[in-house]
Structure 1
Amino acid sequence: MRLSNRKKTSVYSFINSLLAMFLIGGVGAFILEEYKFDVLGKESLLLIIVPVFIIILFYISGRQVFEYDSDGEALHFRNRNIIPFLQKPLSDEFPKYKLLKFEIINLFIIKRLYITISSKNSGSTILKYEISYLTRKEVDDLRFSLHKVVKTNNEKKS
């Protein structure tokens, strides 16, 4: 099964540009308010605080692009940000038989996928992916696919 929200990259880039313009407009309005108009008083700080808060929410939600491929004998996960220099992109590929368990955490606007794989050195390793920008259907499909792999692995061990 293949799952990807790469087609939405242009939407995320547009939102990012819109937020940047919103911040620049807020800073410009703040400067004009402070030095020219002086109508809002202390509330003029909201012209900067609100855009900064929205930008922080956008980036705290995690990497925007998530790709998953379970075709063949390996699982391949890729997770990257639309702005390459903000966070290092994640890319992991490992055989299906190494998958021990997975967990999807859903907290308000933040969704995370934790994958536990078997490792020769430490016994097991936990890999973390940010899936906040996946739709509910995509998360359900991902859960179904990973559950099928875990179930197959448990049957082979028995």
Structure 2
Amino acid sequence: MSQTGLSGNFMILSVLYKGGLLMASQHMTVGELSSFLMYTFWVGISIAGLSSFYSELMKGFGAGARLWELLDRKPEFPLNEGQILSPDQLKGQLDFCNVSFAYPTRREAPIFQNLNLLIPAGTIMAVVGPSGSGKSSLVSLLLRLYDPDTGKSE
């Protein structure tokens, strides 16, 4: 049992003991003791609720601070917001020339070493292979979610 629960039970027992003594000396009735206990429960529950409200409020402030930090962050690559590209600008070839890449958290495990890949404009290509062969990593490089460690991608 937690310290809070133990102290709450001790307080209730103390109130019942003192209320019993007051009832025995006819300074208090059973109804008054019951009313006092009900009010004590309501106050205790309210105080416990304030405690959890405060902790939830602090969690919200922490999450809000992180959210504002993310919103204020400047992108590493310019987004060219509002710029409209014409369709002929979007037609071109993809060229990976001697690209080497490893994820920043696992530099000791390279994904690609000296990868050369040319995809001519207007063609359709599929990348197939077993799990862990680098398909998703190739797409991440194409989307510029990551930059290659060496080589060039155009």
What TM-score does the superposition give when structure 2 sets the normalisation length? 0.32
- Greater Cα radius of gyration, structure 1 or 2: 2
